Structure formats: C-alpha cells, structure tokens
Amino acid sequence: MSTPRVFIVRHGETEWSLSGRHTSTTDIPLTANGERRVLATGRALVGHDRLIVPSKLAHVYVSPRRRAQRTLELLNLAFHSSLPWTPHGTTTTEPGEGLPCPAAIEVTEDIREWDYGDYEGITSREICALRESQGLGSDWNIWRDGCVGGESPADVAERLDRLIKEIREKWHAPVMNKEKVDGEEPVRGDVLIVAHGHILRAFAQRWTGQSFDSGPSFLMEAGGVGTLSYEHHNINEPAILLGGAFVVDIPEDDTKA
C-alpha cells in the first residue's frame, strides 16, 4: 500500500505578492495572471497519472481567505460535494476538465496565513526600517521574532501542530495500519492543503519536528506545490518529499514478469 502524502499548495499570484507586501488578514483576489498560472498547474499536476491523483485524496484543508479558496477552485478538481463558500469567480476549471474528487473540503483557521499584525501590507525592507525606528534592531527574522501586534512563532507552531496531529490520526494512520486486501477498493489517504507562503513553509518545518529557526530555509512561489510524506511507510518518520514521480498504472501481467 502506498504511503500517504500531504500536498501543500500556495495560492496564486496577487498584487501584493508581486510587490512583496505581507498579506495575512487582508482579503485580496488573485491577479488574472495568477488565475491562468493556477489553471496551468492543475492541468500539469492533477490527474489520474499525475502527482496529485484526485481519487486518492481523502480530505482538503483550505484557508479562510478568498485567494486560497479561488486557487482550489482552479486546480482541475470537480468535488462531489458543493464548495463551502460562494465561488469567487465565474468559472472554476476549464469547461469539462474538472476531475471527479470524493474528498470533503474543510475551511480551517489553523492554516490561515501567519498574522503579520503591525506589518500587514508592508514589505520586509519597510518592516526592518520600522523596527529600527522602534529600537528593535533592523535584522528582522519572522521565524525568530514573529510579528509585533500579530503572531509569535510559538503561536503559529501551536496551531500547526494541532493540524498535523489531526492529519496523522484521522487520515494517515488508518491507511498505514490497514492491510491490503485483494479486490478491495484502495483506501484514500492523501491530503491537500491550499493556503499561504509563510504558513506552508512553517507547516513543512513542523511536519518534520523542526523549530522554525533551526531548519533549512524553504521557498514557495505563488501557485507552487510541495509534497510531504514519511520514510519507510512509518508514521513516526515524517519527511519532506523533494521529488515526487507521477503515478502510472502497471498492467497486472507486467508485475509478474
């Protein structure tokens, strides 16, 4: 039985992501180019023989922000149940291209963007200048310092650890502990998360049990996709999957060769 995975997807491009302005609670839409790029990502990476296989998704977690929800709408997935929000655009995927997906969608505050507090809407350079004027020094590092008026690293770690615990207990452990039975429908265990740049990078750190300021620096472009899983099919060995292959069905005769 395959090892379940978590796919993390950052929302598509916005005007503020283009200009480097920190966006947490401000609810702004994707740009037209951002929508086109997410559509292209869905066509390239979502499919029965692609990285994200719709029939294998057990659950989808989405940020409450419209930019994340719109990104999910454009990812080439046609959910069996209706979206838990009013659609944010006139179309979802290209007509006729949405692939059936049985997973339920859950909007959760646990995966909302890091609350930037006083730093909402300004760039890293402006944040450093502001902190220097306040006597806090100019070498701001969100992973160490957090955000004045917003969330600290400990605040963010607490809610992400809660979500990771739920994913492992509710969606992954049952799959990894189940014996494969011939003729039985495969158990769905993959999870999809659609959210934001800083919170998804933080999620990857906490997935592997790392503190924010001790692990490697991760980058995640607008509309980017990452994969998390486990080594040795062992839930106690969480890992970051640096390169994931597409899924290919192997004819039964070939497996006996």
Average pLDDT over residues 183-188: 66
Q: Using alpha carbons, select from 98, 101, 113 the residue that is nearest to residue 39.
A: 98
What pLDDT does residue 249 have?
62
Reported confidence tier of residue 31, pLDDT bands at 50, 70, 90: very high
Decide if pLDDT at 216 tops 60.
Answer: yes
pLDDT band at 1 (very low <50, low <70, confident <90, very high): low
Q: Higher pLDDT residue, 252 or 103?
A: 103
Percent of the chain with pLDDT over 70: 88
pLDDT by residue (tens digit) across 150-169?
A: 999 999 999 999 999 999 99
Average pLDDT over the chain, rounded to an integer: 91
126 given a catalytic annotation: no
What's residue 95's pLDDT? 47
- Does the active-site annotation cover 97? no
Dihedral (C-alpha) 83, 85, 88, 94: value to the nearest 10 degrees? 0
Residue 130 or residue 250, greater confidence: 130
Residue 182 pLDDT:
53
Q: What is the pLDDT of residues 42-93, one digit of tens each?
A: 999 999 999 999 999 999 999 999 999 999 999 999 999 899 999 998 765 5
Q: The whole model's pTM is what?
A: 0.92
Residue, of 177 and 168, whose pLDDT is higher: 168
Catalytic residue among 35, 73, 113, 120: 113
- 59: β partners: 104, 191
CA nearest to 59, candidates 114, 4, 1: 4
Residue 4: partners with Cβ closer than 8 Å, 6 or more residues away: 58, 171, 172, 175, 176, 189, 190, 191, 229, 230
Are residues 141 and 49 in contact, defined by beta-carbon separation less than 8 angstroms?
Answer: no
